[in-house]
Structure 1
Amino acid sequence: MKIKYQKSVHYSVRLAIQWILPFWLVACGGDESNGENTSESDGLVISVPTLSLLETPAANNTDGFARITFESSAATQCQLNGDAAFDCTSPLFLTDIGAGDQTLVIRTAESEPETAVTVQWTVANIFDAGHEDLVLTNQSPEPVEAYSWRGIVRINCDFSHSSYNDPIVYPGQENAAHLHRFYGNMLVDHMLTTESLLSSGDSSCQGGELNRSAYWVPALLAPLYDPDTGERALDADGEPAWQTVPAVVGNDEEAHEIFYYSAGIDDLSAIQPVPAGLRMIAGKATTQPEAPQDTSIVRWHCQSWESDDAENPQFSATIPECVAPDRVRMDIFFPSCWNGEDLDSADHQSHMAYPISEGGPNGTRCPESHPVAVVRPSYHYAFGVKPEVFDPVTQSSRGWRLASDMYAVTVSTPGGLSLHADWINGWHPQIMAALLDVCIKSGFDCHDGNLGNGLRLSGTQPGSQFEPEIINQGMGY
């Protein structure tokens, strides 16, 4: 016997239920349905699992994600657009939803008779929908320079806020980390989840809600001096006081491209978009003076050095003494080879790897352990050596340290060895695909959020810019 019926749930949702008779119970009194629907015919009782929808996506939207909630009296499996079925529970949060018609089937698993519901909705192409965070431009990107980036997009950001939180290393634990400065999604805190990142909050970076990615670094600190005497100032506990050194960001009159997306391997055609919610850490916060980090991953240099990987690779593992009006530059390169399975790992790094080189024109590739090449994020900051933050004697960056430097910073052992950064992908999938296909794979240098398709991302905006008290040299509570 097969029964099929339809009803409306929120919008045009097709609800189909099929009954398959797996067993026969002789009705001699008593109800053994266990909360399931029952049907009685000719002395037989048939138990039917219940499955009902509670929340579904809007029938037409531009989101790259979808939230569906439902109630079921049995275990369930889900299948999106005919792909492989997977075990699922409510609430169900789907990511990397592409443009076009979407069909999600939810059915009771390992239960007879089977019950199923179908949810249908349409995601518009945001480049045709006139999204407020996309702006028309008549500027076309130029091809990358020889012996430079293979293909690159440069994103500007303003400062959002600071806190002693780290949602990757200390999820759910407030004030458990050293002092960080956050950029991107303005709502990032210790309670961050992939769903909250993708579905809520505006961004301090270009692209607004299309770029809800979370970016954060340890705060850069400078000794605080008494402006009248030039002596070291003390905090409320009588300890030497510190102040934050702000990065040059959010000022359209000065270069402040601080986040790049580029190719980490030679074969551009092999690069894939970064999956939504992928978490990465570049660099090691526990680095000590006896074992400095590789400057191909994290590094410092003075802007006046005009450092260049191809012709002038002058870089330092520690913060150099740059003299005013110079700038201290900081570069952090994230790994771009993914294991293809995990969005995170126990150490927050082993699911990712850096490319390896075998020489030759196509020598840079991903290792077999991490075969999936993805778009490479990197951070590039500039810190002005200004009177309010420089050493009054040398008028330089002498004495600067990171909040994560867990060693004594001296003239002979400069700060900055613990340089590292965190990133969680919150890009709209259609924008991530455009960054890759139009700019990176085509070998263009796309400045200031230019997408190379006649559109650019909307401008930067400040977050709360909240700055907490500097505690224990920024190392926290």
Structure 2
Amino acid sequence: MRWITSAPVALLALPTPISALIRFQCSQLVVERLDPLVTPGEVPSPHVHQIVGGNSFNATMSPSKDMPGESTCTTCQFSEDFSNYWTAVLYFRARNGTYQRVPQRSNAGFEGATGGGMTVYYMQDPLYDTAQKSKVKAFQPGFRMFVGNVNARTKDEAAKFRQLTYTCMSNAGSREHETVAFPQKPCRYGIMTSVRFPTCWDGVNLDSPDHMAHMSYPETGTFESAGPCPATHPVRTAQVMYEVIWDTSKFNSKDDWPEDGSQPFVWSFGDASGYANHGDYVFGWKDQALQNILDTSCYASSCGGKTQDITAMNKCAGLKPTVNENIGVDDWLTALPGGHMTESR
């Protein structure tokens, strides 16, 4: 298979300091078993995802199509962002072996977003560095990527993917004590999953067979420590990060947990360890909107781009699912959609 490429990017010395850190909310577009990145054209896909962004999301989403032009609206706060962002869905497994989907809640300040959705970041430097001095290249039309390993069930198997984490939240502001496995105790406010993508691009390929090889982590250190990109992937991009808050509060009674006291949450594909946390990204910003924002001194959503309020975001939500099935929103299921059962090693 031939992967779409772009012209090599010239690396320029651009000393002018900039300070764009983009943080915005997206309402939930749809929840269903579709995955146009990993299993394009497969209806249904193997497991349930929750998707936000442009309403052109579908089972195929050919990279040759004009993603922004295909969408008529977006569930994201930046109205020129027709990208699609998605993750697997979290389920609670009761002591009797039945499953129910865990609802989501919005980050503080974004209350009212349909389905809770997710918060998306584009960072040029570590989140704690508000100066954001680095120059980064925006992704190009047709770009897409994946991070994580759906087959990981041990810490060693998950080690390749840095910074796919969980936070056991006691309140809306909890951000400390991240873990790479599911929290092992009840979390009063909920469980936050954070998905951080690699930040070094090869400058040529918009995709790769595994949707990961065209991207790389820094050669040494991490994005947080400002490690340099390797020579094979010399183009520095913004770090895309998702924050999803799963409202586990109604499942916190230990009387409903497994008798052995083990944690009861499981991803929609059966992983009860948490090591298989992963995320998918398909770029769809209109024209030069993302690069213009990244080149602007700004913070969060006050970045000069066109924005919409939560009411407008919500009007785009509620895309009719392609797959008609019970995904356990209110009902208890005897198996996860697709027939998956809980597995761990």
Mapped to 2, the partners of 1:175 and 1:455 lie a distance apart of 35
Partner of 2:120: 259
Deviation (angstroms), 1:198: 2.2
Partner of 1:304: 170
1:349 aligns with 2:212: yes
Change (3 A) 1:455 1:184: closer
Partner of 1:425: 283
Q: What is the percentage of aligned positions where both structures have the same residue?
A: 23
Mapped to 2, the partners of 1:423 and 1:465 lie a distance apart of 21
Choose from 316, 319, 335 the match for 1:464: 319
Deviation (angstroms), 1:349: 0.4
Partner of 2:255: 393
Mapped to 1, the partners of 2:24 and 2:106 lie a distance apart of 11
1:317 aligns with 2:171: no
Mapped to 1, the partners of 2:148 and 2:215 lie a distance apart of 12
1:247 aligns with 2:99: no
Answer yes or no: is the 8 Å Cα contact 2:193–2:245 preserved in 1. yes
Partner of 1:186: 55
Deviation (angstroms), 1:287: 0.6
SS of match in other structure, 1:429? coil
Matches within 5 A, 1:269-308: 269-289=134-154, 291-294=156-159, 296-304=162-170
Change (3 A) 1:186 1:390: farther
Mapped to 1, the partners of 2:265 and 2:53 lie a distance apart of 25
Mapped to 1, the partners of 2:92 and 2:225 lie a distance apart of 43
Change (3 A) 1:307 1:346: same
SS of match in other structure, 2:121? strand
- 1:367-392, CA deviations, whole angstroms, 9 ceiling, x for partnerless residues? 110011112211111122232x4445
Deviation (angstroms), 1:434: 2.7
- 1:106-152, CA deviations, whole angstroms, 9 ceiling, x for partnerless residues? xxxxxxxxxxxxxxxxxxxxxxxxxxxxxxxxxxxxxx9xxxxx752
Provide TM-score, normalisation by structure 1: 0.55
- 1:247-278, CA deviations, whole angstroms, 9 ceiling, x for partnerless residues? 21398437976111111589944411111221
Deviation (angstroms), 1:394: 6.6
Deviation (angstroms), 1:214: 0.7
Change (3 A) 1:475 1:289: farther
Provide TM-score, normalisation by structure 2: 0.74
Answer yes or no: is the 8 Å Cα contact 1:298–1:420 preserved in 2. yes
Deviation (angstroms), 1:393: 1.7
Mapped to 1, the partners of 2:58 and 2:197 lie a distance apart of 22
Partner of 1:70: none
Choose from 62, 66, 89 the match for 1:219: 89
Deviation (angstroms), 1:196: 5.3
Change (3 A) 1:358 1:212: closer
Q: Which amino acid aligns with 1:205?
A: C
Mapped to 2, the partners of 1:299 and 1:192 lie a distance apart of 28
Mark the runs of 5 or more structure 1 residues left unpaired by the alignment. Answer: 1-93, 95-143, 145-149, 225-230, 233-239, 410-414
Choose from 169, 173, 178 the match for 2:42: 173
Please say which structure displays the higher CA radius of gyration: 1
Mapped to 2, the partners of 1:326 and 1:419 lie a distance apart of 20
Bigger mean CA offset, 179-188 vs 464-473? 464-473
Bigger mean CA offset, 246-255 vs 321-330? 246-255
Tell me the C-alpha RMSD between the 2 structures. Answer: 3.4
Higher relative contact order (CA 8 A, sep 6+): 2
- 1:5-48, CA deviations, whole angstroms, 9 ceiling, x for partnerless residues? xxxxxxxxxxxxxxxxxxxxxxxxxxxxxxxxxxxxxxxxxxxx
SS of match in other structure, 2:141? coil
Q: Which amino acid aligns with 1:258?
A: T
Change (3 A) 1:476 1:158: farther
Partner of 1:434: 292
Mapped to 1, the partners of 2:338 and 2:125 lie a distance apart of 32
Aligned length: 296
Mark the runs of 5 or more structure 2 residues left unpaired by the alignment. Answer: 1-5, 7-17, 328-332, 341-345
Answer yes or no: is the 8 Å Cα contact 2:137–2:237 preserved in 1. yes
Mapped to 2, the partners of 1:302 and 1:263 lie a distance apart of 26
1:206 aligns with 2:68: no
Deviation (angstroms), 1:170: 1.1
Partner of 2:9: none
Mapped to 2, the partners of 1:269 and 1:327 lie a distance apart of 34
Deviation (angstroms), 1:301: 1.6
